[in-house]
């Protein structure tokens, strides 16, 4: 059965019928329909409710500028709030719900707000809800918040995936109407790389909505033929369902392609949408124009819409919004709508034109006058007309078209510095000011409102943009009607005449805003919320500006516009996030022993992007502490192994390598012997510690520098800065080798014995003493590096082999160590051992600490200039009571000494004013049998032995502690040198 308002013709496919549901009720439509056109075809005019007054709302437009017909599309996790019914392509099984209502759409309980509209004027909340003060948070605000928003999220994880991509072209054409298509033809035939994008699923722009012909074809047929020709060109990429959302610096455009939104669900593995970054040299903006409404009393009833939308529904979608239609216009275009509808067999109740010299028609009545009010609770039934003569007429109609003139779509011209210019002939803003680099504008977007003008303008723009010589391509004959318009914005004396239909901003609100001094156009917007709806003022702003101008006694361009901002239409957050979700949010970096560690049942922890083994639980261990304690004790007793590949490594070579290190480290490196390693502290230029690590001198002109895991990238960048910008003639070459080598720390009194089984050569204490380094071979010839350095405080080595051998080496080490009960240890045990040894790490090098704070003040060489040495001497960084790194232990061994707790004098007040310092790192020491910590304490070096109070009110800790040396284990360092 054909729905009641379905006409013949159009660009729908009557052979394909789609069933769909709206608010639980079933309807049918056809391929090529939008949800809005299908609903209208079925006689459904009421599609939503407004934000504030919950007034009944139907479609206002037939495009992406729609402020009213917003629905919750789909259900379950794919529910998509605020979806414009006017752009939602119909598919079989589509489900949609109306939104912002309590109860049914027809009987929305919140509609009571409309009764109180006298109270809910612009800015009402700034003046109220203040008495009594306590009521705001408890009563008023919860009520306001409950009413907030339009549609709702399902709050289920979005099940679809989104892609991102990158495209490059010579010319980007935004919009595939007559101007865009003729530009694309011209450019495409020249061989240039062209992308033409249009937000619609059917390219052709207004050509699909109009009845006039291009040459001997209908506009729609010409568009289809042109698109086919373009699609066949290898150098042209035709992108429908693609919105250019923003013009960014230097010819970069954001585009969203809706790959799957017209399908019930995306095909397997396919994204729902793709965010493209398009890099183009030239851009032609051919985005067309949007018709604007006229403000009159009760102009917001379902059935009242833009006249051009009526035309689109009739011509493109074969839908009559109603069988009796009236038009209210201030320009000739309104008459075109009436003629088109009349030709489709729709009864024109009358065309009401504000102009005395309006054209006359044989087919319908033209009245000189204004629509001053309407009737119809859930949809238009009558329009009241006041004729110029003063007589009144009542028009019976179910739809009314408003034709207030056209606004060129200047948005993208304003995304950078452009400010639109006023055009009196069109009574509209056209592109002006400084356009984005490489952008030209053509067609209706440039104020060229006729089809012939658009075709010509598009072709000329393409020629200009690409510097093409020769004649324009032959363009088909097309209508070239002038724009005849008399500016008319609102009906005098009206009050509840809507400007912003979604946010319920009326003419009265604008006047009130002016009355209260909110007179800048930005104040108007912010005070009334005019233009802040989901259409960002596309259909509402001009009316507000015109009224503001009149009240201020200024012209519209003097009042100016608010700023157009991206995105051009609302854009899903999902597509902007792309694939970076869940586990793929950031790449994972796996260490060479990852597979092996997984086999051992290791627990992993995120360290930046790295995953490191945190500890290795064994059967019978029930808490992480049990595992960690075991790993620590076993290492200190015999031997342990830990993957330390994540430390940054930089290969520093060149004849000036040593001098270079002298600059980047505060301590000296020039005299470091070949085959030796030295601890180094790097300062920022502001004198604060930046990073620490070791530098191993493998040859006179070759060092391997290590950085902390966290700072690998920033230290490398800093080194390149020093090399290229500060000492450009130093013979130094840098390259990161972090991932090139699998590196393991082998620590503990038996570490030498284990390594002796693997290393080809003598590593006795004499041959390879503490801080030695060398290129060696292992296991009978595999190239490797050995460093005798220790983070744990034990006799220890770090051994490195090319990464691909890392898996094999860890297995070899474990095999070789079996007789010594070798234990793999993770980052927790590593942390415990370094705290026991008093080594500073990330928690201590927190970006605010100096070498002096860290107890390494004497390392800052005075004998040379190095980065940061001068500013490290500022008075504020060298006060007598400055923080010093100390060790902290609980007086009662059972007490914790947690990181983040603050130190107070034992018998002093506990407050911020008496803060003495804080704990940076803490752990339980299985060797000492109690918790220990490192921290910073005012004048700490002189307070060893002092009893203090350690407080963490946040976590409920308040314990007595003793300040001790930070070196809990082997303070003399005998084990290291054993």
User: What's the rounded Cα separation, in Å, for the pair 606 and 610?
Assistant: 6
Q: Which of residues 315-334 bind other proteins (CB under 8 A)?
A: none
Residue 801 Cβ vs other proteins, minimum distance, rounded to whole Å: 8
Peptide bond into 437 cis (omega under 30): no
Specify the residue, 246 or 376, whose C-beta has the smaller distance to other proteins: 246
Q: Which of residues 398-417 bind other proteins (CB under 8 A)?
A: 415-417
Binding flag, residue 817, other proteins (CB under 8 A): no
Binding flag, residue 585, other proteins (CB under 8 A): yes
Q: Is 165 left (phi over 0), alpha (psi -120 to 50) or beta?
A: beta
Binding flag, residue 487, other proteins (CB under 8 A): no
Check if the beta carbon of residue 178 is closer than 8 Å to that of residue 451: yes
Q: Which of residues 637-666 bind other proteins (CB under 8 A)?
A: 645, 651, 653-656, 659
From 36-44, 216-224, 453-461, 897-905, span contacting other proteins (CB under 8 A): 897-905
Binding flag, residue 432, other proteins (CB under 8 A): no
Specify the residue, 308 or 536, whose C-beta has the smaller distance to other proteins: 536
Binding flag, residue 579, other proteins (CB under 8 A): yes
Specify the residue, 151 or 447, whose C-beta has the smaller distance to other proteins: 151
From 10-18, 130-138, 354-362, 626-634, span contacting other proteins (CB under 8 A): 130-138
From 39-47, 217-225, 451-459, 525-533, span contacting other proteins (CB under 8 A): 525-533
Strands (E) in 835-927, as ranges, are 883-890, 902-905, 917-925
Selected from 30, 206, 538, 812, the binder of other proteins by CB under 8 A is 812
The neighbouring-strand residues paired with 607 are 610
Binding flag, residue 368, other proteins (CB under 8 A): no
Specify the residue, 416 or 600, whose C-beta has the smaller distance to other proteins: 416
The dihedral built from the CA positions of residue 518, 521, 527 and 530, taken in this order, carries a sign that is positive
Binding flag, residue 686, other proteins (CB under 8 A): yes
Alpha-carbon distances, residue 84 vs 151, 209, 320, 421 (angstroms): 11, 19, 19, 30
x/- site string to other proteins, residues 223 to 262, per CB under 8 A? -----------------------x-xxxxx-x--------
Selected from 390, 470, 553, 587, the binder of other proteins by CB under 8 A is 587
Residue 147 Cβ vs other proteins, minimum distance, rounded to whole Å: 9
Selected from 468, 472, 730, 814, the binder of other proteins by CB under 8 A is 730
Specify the residue, 745 or 801, whose C-beta has the smaller distance to other proteins: 801
The neighbouring-strand residues paired with 327 are 351, 401
Contacts 24+ apart (CB under 8 A), 853-857: 853/689, 853/882, 853/883, 853/884, 853/885, 853/936, 854/681, 854/689, 854/885, 855/884, 855/885, 855/941, 855/966, 856/681
Binding flag, residue 419, other proteins (CB under 8 A): no
Selected from 31, 102, 167, 472, the binder of other proteins by CB under 8 A is 167
Specify the residue, 406 or 805, whose C-beta has the smaller distance to other proteins: 805
Binding flag, residue 842, other proteins (CB under 8 A): yes
Specify the residue, 332 or 807, whose C-beta has the smaller distance to other proteins: 807
x/- site string to other proteins, residues 769 to 798, per CB under 8 A? --------xxxxxxx---------------
Residue 63 Cβ vs other proteins, minimum distance, rounded to whole Å: 16
CA angle centred on 26, ends 21 and 31, rounded to 5°:
70
3-state secondary structure 258-293: ECCCCCCCCCCCCCCEEEEEEEEEEEEECCCEEECC
Binding flag, residue 128, other proteins (CB under 8 A): yes
The neighbouring-strand residues paired with 498 are 506
Selected from 112, 392, 670, 735, the binder of other proteins by CB under 8 A is 735
User: What's the rounded Cα separation, in Å, for the pair 146 and 733?
Assistant: 63
How buried is residue 943: exposed, middle or buried, by Cβ count under 10 Å (0-12/13-18/19+)? middle
Give the binding-site size for other proteins (rule: CB under 8 A).
Answer: 197
The neighbouring-strand residues paired with 411 are none
User: What's the rounded Cα separation, in Å, for the pair 448 and 232?
Assistant: 29
Q: Which of residues 131-150 bind other proteins (CB under 8 A)?
A: 131, 133, 136-137, 141, 144-146, 148-150
Residue 133 Cβ vs other proteins, minimum distance, rounded to whole Å: 5
Q: 835: helix, coil or strand?
A: helix
Q: Which of residues 66-105 bind other proteins (CB under 8 A)?
A: 78-82
Q: What is the largest CA-CA distance in the chain?
A: 116
Specify the residue, 472 or 779, whose C-beta has the smaller distance to other proteins: 779
Contacts 24+ apart (CB under 8 A), 17-21: 18/90, 18/91, 18/92, 18/93, 18/94, 19/92, 19/93, 20/90, 20/91, 20/92, 20/93, 20/94, 20/95, 20/96, 21/94, 21/95, 21/96
Residue 813 Cβ vs other proteins, minimum distance, rounded to whole Å: 11
Q: 52: helix, coil or strand?
A: coil
Binding flag, residue 343, other proteins (CB under 8 A): no
Residue 640 Cβ vs other proteins, minimum distance, rounded to whole Å: 21
Quote the DSSP letter at residue 471. Answer: P
User: What's the rounded Cα separation, in Å, for the pair 882 and 888?
Assistant: 17
Specify the residue, 26 or 119, whose C-beta has the smaller distance to other proteins: 119
Quote the DSSP letter at residue 708. Answer: -
Residue 739 Cβ vs other proteins, minimum distance, rounded to whole Å: 4
Strands (E) in 600-644, as ranges, are 603-607, 610-615, 640-643
x/- site string to other proteins, residues 33 to 72, per CB under 8 A? ------------------x---------------------
Q: Which of residues 859-878 bind other proteins (CB under 8 A)?
A: 865, 869-871, 873-878
Specify the residue, 560 or 926, whose C-beta has the smaller distance to other proteins: 560
H helices of 423-496, in order, are: 451-466
Q: Which of residues 436-455 bind other proteins (CB under 8 A)?
A: 437
Check if the beta carbon of residue 692 is closer than 8 Å to that of residue 789: no
From 305-313, 478-486, 513-521, 788-796, span contacting other proteins (CB under 8 A): 513-521
Q: Which of residues 272-301 bind other proteins (CB under 8 A)?
A: 274-275, 277, 279
Binding flag, residue 761, other proteins (CB under 8 A): no
End-to-end Cα spacing for the chain: 95
Binding flag, residue 687, other proteins (CB under 8 A): yes
User: What's the rounded Cα separation, in Å, for the pair 244 and 200?
Assistant: 11
Q: Tokens standing for 535?
A: 């259409």
Q: 28: helix, coil or strand?
A: strand
Binding flag, residue 967, other proteins (CB under 8 A): no
Selected from 361, 572, 600, 927, the binder of other proteins by CB under 8 A is 572
Q: Which of residues 904-963 bind other proteins (CB under 8 A)?
A: 910-912, 915, 918-921, 951-955
Residue 363 Cβ vs other proteins, minimum distance, rounded to whole Å: 42
Binding flag, residue 112, other proteins (CB under 8 A): no
Residue 531 Cβ vs other proteins, minimum distance, rounded to whole Å: 10
Binding flag, residue 670, other proteins (CB under 8 A): no
Residue 862 Cβ vs other proteins, minimum distance, rounded to whole Å: 10
From 157-165, 208-216, 477-485, 746-754, span contacting other proteins (CB under 8 A): 157-165
Non-local (6+) Cβ contacts of 477 within 8 A are: 214, 215, 452
User: What's the rounded Cα separation, in Å, for the pair 828 and 820?
Assistant: 22
Residue 127 Cβ vs other proteins, minimum distance, rounded to whole Å: 4
């Amino acid at each position: 059965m054909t729905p009641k308002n379905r006409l013949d013709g159009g660009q729908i496919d009557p052979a394909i019928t789609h069933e769909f549901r709206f608010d639980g009720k079933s309807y049918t439509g056809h391929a090529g329909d939008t949800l809005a056109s299908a609903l209208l075809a079925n006689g459904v005019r009421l599609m939503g409710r407004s934000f504030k007054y919950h007034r009944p709302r139907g479609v206002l437009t037939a495009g992406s500028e729609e402020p009213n017909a917003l629905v919750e599309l789909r259900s379950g996790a794919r529910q998509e709030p605020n979806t414009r019914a006017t752009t939602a392509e119909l598919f079989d099984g589509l489900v949609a719900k109306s939104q912002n209502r309590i109860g049914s759409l027809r009987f929305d309980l919140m509609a009571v707000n409309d009764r109180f509209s006298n109270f809910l004027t612009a800015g009402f909340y700034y003046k109220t809800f203040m008495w009594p003060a306590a009521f705001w948070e408890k009563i008023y605000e919860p009520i306001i918040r409950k009413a907030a928003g339009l549609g709702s999220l399902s709050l289920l994880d979005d099940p679809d995936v989104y892609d991102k991509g990158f495209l490059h072209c010579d010319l980007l054409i935004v919009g595939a109407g007559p101007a865009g298509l003729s530009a694309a033809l011209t450019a495409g035939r020249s061989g240039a790389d062209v992308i033409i994008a249009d937000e619609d699923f059917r390219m052709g722009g207004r050509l699909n909505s109009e009845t006039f012909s291009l040459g001997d074809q209908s506009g729609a047929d010409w568009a289809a033929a042109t698109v086919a020709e373009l699609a066949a060109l290898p150098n042209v990429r035709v992108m429908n369902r693609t919105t250019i959302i923003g013009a960014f610096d230097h010819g970069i455009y954001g585009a969203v392609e809706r790959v799957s939104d017209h399908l019930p669900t995306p095909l397997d593995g396919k994204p729902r949408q793709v965010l493209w970054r398009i890099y183009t040299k030239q851009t032609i903006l051919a985005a067309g124009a949007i018709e604007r409404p006229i403000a009159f009393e009760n102009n917001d009833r379902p059935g009242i819409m833009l006249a051009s939308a009526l035309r689109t529904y009739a011509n493109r979608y074969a839908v009559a919004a109603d069988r009796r239609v009236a038009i209210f216009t201030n320009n000739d275009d309104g008459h075109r709508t009436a003629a088109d509808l009349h030709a489709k067999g729709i009864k024109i109740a009358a065309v009401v034109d504000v102009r005395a010299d309006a054209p006359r028609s044989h087919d319908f009545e033209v009245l000189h006058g204004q629509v001053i009010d309407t009737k119809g609770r859930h949809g238009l039934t009558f329009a009241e007309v006041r004729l110029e003569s003063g007589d009144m007429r009542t028009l019976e109609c179910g739809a009314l078209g408003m034709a207030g003139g056209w606004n060129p779509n200047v948005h993208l011209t304003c995304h950078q510095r452009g400010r639109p210019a006023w055009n009196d002939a069109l009574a509209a803003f056209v592109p002006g000011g400084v356009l984005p680099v490489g952008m030209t504008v053509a067609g209706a977007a440039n104020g060229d409102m006729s089809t012939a003008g658009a075709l010509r303008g598009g072709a000329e723009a393409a020629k200009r943009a690409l510097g093409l010589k020769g004649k324009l391509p032959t363009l088909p004959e097309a209508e070239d009607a002038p724009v005849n318009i008399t500016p008319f914005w609102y009906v005098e004396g009206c009050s509840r005449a809507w400007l912003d239909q979604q946010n319920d901003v009326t003419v009265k609100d604008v006047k009130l805003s002016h009355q209260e001094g909110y007179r800048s156009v930005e104040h108007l917007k912010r005070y009334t919320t005019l233009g802040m709806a989901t259409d960002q003022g596309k259909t509402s702003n001009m009316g507000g500006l015109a009224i503001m101008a009149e009240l201020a006694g200024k012209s519209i361009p003097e009042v100016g516009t608010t700023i157009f901002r991206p995105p051009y239409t609302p854009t899903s957050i999902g597509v902007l996030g792309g694939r970076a979700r869940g586990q793929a949010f950031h790449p994972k970096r796996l260490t060479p022993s990852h597979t092996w560690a997984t086999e051992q049942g290791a627990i992993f922890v995120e360290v930046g992007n790295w995953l490191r083994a945190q500890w290795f639980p064994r059967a019978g261990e029930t808490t992480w502490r049990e595992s960690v304690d075991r790993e620590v004790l076993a290492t200190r007793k015999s031997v342990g192994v830990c993957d330390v590949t994540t430390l940054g490594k930089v290969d520093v070579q060149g004849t000036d390598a040593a001098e270079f290190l002298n600059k980047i480290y505060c301590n000296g490196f020039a005299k470091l012997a070949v085959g030796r390693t030295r601890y180094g502290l790097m300062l920022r230029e502001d004198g604060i510690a930046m990073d620490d690590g070791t530098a191993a001198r493998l040859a006179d002109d070759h060092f391997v520098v290590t950085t902390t895991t966290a700072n690998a990238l920033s230290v490398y960048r800093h080194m390149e800065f020093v090399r290229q910008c500060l000492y450009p003639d130093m013979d130094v070459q840098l390259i990161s080798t972090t991932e090139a080598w699998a590196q393991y720390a082998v620590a503990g009194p038996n570490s030498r014995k284990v390594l002796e089984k693997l290393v080809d050569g003598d590593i006795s204490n004499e041959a390879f003493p503490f801080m030695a380094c060398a290129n060696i071979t292992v296991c009978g010839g595999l190239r490797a590096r050995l460093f005798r350095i220790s983070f744990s405080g034990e006799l220890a080595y770090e051994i490195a082999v090319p990464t691909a051998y890392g898996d094999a080496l860890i297995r070899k080490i474990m095999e070789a160590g079996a007789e010594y009960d070798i234990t793999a240890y993770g980052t927790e045990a590593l942390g415990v051992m370094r705290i026991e040894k008093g080594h500073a790490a990330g928690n201590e090098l927190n970006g605010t600490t100096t070498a002096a704070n860290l107890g390494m003040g004497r390392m800052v060489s005075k004998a040379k200039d190095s980065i940061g040495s001068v500013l490290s001497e500022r008075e504020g960084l060298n006060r007598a009571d400055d923080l010093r790194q100390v060790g902290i232990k609980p007086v009662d061994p059972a007490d914790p000494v947690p990181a983040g707790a603050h130190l107070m004098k034992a018998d002093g007040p506990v407050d911020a004013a008496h803060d003495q310092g804080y704990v940076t790192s803490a752990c339980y020491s299985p060797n000492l049998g109690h918790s220990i910590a490192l921290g910073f304490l005012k004048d700490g070096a002189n307070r060893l032995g002092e009893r203090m109070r350690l407080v963490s009110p946040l976590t409920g800790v308040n314990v007595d502690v003793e300040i001790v040396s930070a070196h809990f284990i082997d303070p003399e360092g005998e084990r290291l040198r054993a």
